Chains A and B, each alone.
Chain A
Amino acid sequence: MQLKRVSLYVIKKTLKLVSLLIAISVLSFLLVSYSPIDPIQSYIGADMVRVSPEQRDNIAAYWGLDDSKTEQFLNWSKAVLQGNLGTSLIYRAPVADVIAERFLASLILMGIAWLMSGFIGFILGIISGIQEGSWVDRIIKGYCFILASTPAFWLALLCLMLFSVSLGWFPVGLASPAGILTEDVTWLERAKHLVLPALTLSIIGVANVALHTRQKLIEVLGSEYARFAKAKGETGFLLLWRHGLRNISLPAVSLHFASFGELFGGAVLAEQVFSYPGLGQAVVQAGLGGDIPLLLGIVLFSTLFVFAGNLLADLLYQFIDPRMRKEELQ
């Protein structure tokens, strides 16, 4: 019974992922291939005048730009299925390697921000929800609404101005100090360069979780069982511990997992401001520099990333929440 359900679930999700990835690659390939930006020109750059038309044609033939769009797409997707995403024009390295290296840097950044914002947001939401209508609640709610309207990159700029320029606590950019070999960079220095981008992303991410948790907690506290508990004399922390926490933590965690897309978007902006060499910076440079293989690679990869988040969110509901299991059985 359980096994059948799990396998059915896995099949459903796999089909969904495959169909999404196929659609995304077809769509993005179509978009990119109709771009008026000439890939050869963006490859050669300023030396374009020194390239003769024959050499140009040779490059085009070598890259298969003469083939029809369908052929190009089939060639590309065949290569992708074999795990070859092509070569990045900007970094002159295999796209898969670039993505792997950059994603590791981004993952540390996003991971810290994700944990921090989830934790702080959850606490703020609880404080706000338990004292609904009080001035604390008003302040937290107002703060969250303002955060939701704050441009992430502006917040990053403010952090940069305050902590790096005025106070001088942190370096102005880059994931490691300039002029030192990568192996010689100490962990402390790495951490120092990580603080500000992570701080920015954490601040931005708080709003959603806090507002959601607040709303759920108010719902829970207004329920029959909470009222009964109150009638028995339970108040404050005990009431929250016994009746609130379990009910509000699952939706909050699940919502937080489902926000990977926004997290990625925030990381793109924060990485740009702090010139942190992560995946976000790479996608901006790929877009600006006409690096089609890298751009397509990152599009597919970020789709996978968001899908993973949504899947985890869904799994939490499906397999952890006992109420969902019961509904299945009935």
Chain B
Amino acid sequence: MIGRTSFPMKVKKWNLRQRTLAVTILSFTLLAGMIGSGILIGPEKMGVDFLSKYLPPSFTHPFGTDWLGRDMLTRTLKGLTLSFSVGLLASTVSTFIALILSLLCSVNKKLDAVVTWFIDLFLSVPHIVILILISFAAGGGFKGVVIGLALTHWPSLTRLLRAEVLQLKNTDYVAVSKAFGKSRMWIARHHLLPHLVPQLIVGFILLFPHAILHEAAITFLGFGLSSEVPAIGIILSESMRYLATGMWWLAFFPGLALLVMVSIFDLLGRSIRKLIDPFHGQKL
């Protein structure tokens, strides 16, 4: 009673900003660790070892081994690294497309209608069907998957940025700049872009979960990658053959690792939004 009222507690409680910052740093470190270890694993660890096949999880093989005696932990980490690089490419390309298209929206009503129509067009077909179609058009293989993922993730972000751009277009300072005879490019660079940067960064990071999940899904369905490549989707689709014999670890851990990676990306994106874009971030 006395301790609570008269003295402030010694244990300091972190405020929202500090907590968010801590979460950001923590998730960034975790991600870097996951991806870094995946890159650093050499080919010698990926070898086949028939003496130790079908091993359940143990200390030497935390994720168990598969039918060729390959360590599932190394395969999973390699798969995550692959997912990350595909996700990175898809996010970069899609963010870039989204930026260009949303700036086009600010030019005039006609262009805006065209862009909106394209957004509707891409959103009107189930995403996975578009990916299958593009993968087929590219003749299968990894290339088709990557192209598909890179070219199809822009619509939702474009929609967000477009709304922002249209709102900014009607502000007083843009009107003043226009009255002063500044060019469209000048206005885009000095008035629109600075406002879009936080949304771009957050949008870029929040595209990762989508891209990674779609990559896993499309490779799981059998499009793209050959079965040699350790991608999470392929590992999981291979594990399906062994499920009936009770080898649960073949499917459980790789999928869980993917889930962890995706949710860390999600968390990172939302934390960064809270930090750099408080205007929109506090709403969630």
A269-B220 Cα distance, complex, nearest whole Å: 9
Residues of B within 8 A of A203 (CB): none
Query: Chain A nearest CB: distance from B71 CB in Å?
Result: 20
- Tell me which of A65-73, A97-105, A120-128, A295-303 binds B: A295-303
Interface of A with B (CB < 8 Å)?
A: 16, 19-20, 23-24, 27-28, 31-32, 34-37, 145-146, 148-154, 157-158, 160-161, 165-166, 172, 261-262, 264-265, 268-269, 272-273, 283-284, 287-288, 290, 295, 298-299, 302-303, 305-307, 310
Q: Are A287 and B124 in contact (CB under 8 A)?
A: no
Closest B residue, CB atoms, query A19 = B117
Whether the Cβ atoms of B136 and A31 lie closer than 8 Å is yes
Instruction: Give the distance in Å from the alpha carbon of A36 to the alpha carbon of B138 in the complex.
Output: 7
Q: What is the chain A residue whose CB lies nearest that of B140?
A: A37
Which residue numbers of B lie inside 8 Å of A, CB to CB? 117, 120-121, 123-129, 132-140, 209, 213, 216-217, 220-223, 232, 236, 239-240, 243-244, 246, 248, 251-252, 255-256, 258-259, 262-263, 265-267
CB nearest to B132 among chain A residues: A287
Distance between Cα atoms of A267 and B233 in the complex (Å):
17
Instruction: Give chain B residues whose Cβ lies under 8 Å from the Cβ of A24.
Output: 121, 124-125
Are A35 and B137 in contact, CB atoms less than 8 angstroms apart? yes
CA distance A149 to B265 in the complex (A): 9
Interchain nearest-CB distance for A328 vs B (Å): 22
Q: Which residues of A contact B138 (CB under 8 A)?
A: 35
Instruction: Report the separation of the CA atoms of residues A154 and B236 in the bound assembly, to the nearest whole angstrom.
Output: 8
Q: A146-B263, A151-B216 are in contact. Are A290 and B252 (CB under 8 A)?
A: no
Contact of B125 among A146, A284, A295, A303 (CB under 8 A): A303
Using CB atoms, name the residue of chain B closest to A291: B136
Known contacts: A146-B263, A161-B251, A284-B132. The answer to whether A35 contacts B139 by CB under 8 A is: yes
**B263 with A283: CB separation less than 8 A:** no
B187 to chain A, nearest CB (A): 32
- If A265-B127, A306-B125, A306-B126 touch, whether A146 touches B136 (CB-CB below 8 Å) is no
The residue from A20, A153, A262, A306 contacting B236, defined by CB atoms under 8 A apart: A153
- Residue in B133, B223, B258 whose Cβ sees the most chain A Cβ within 10 Å: B133
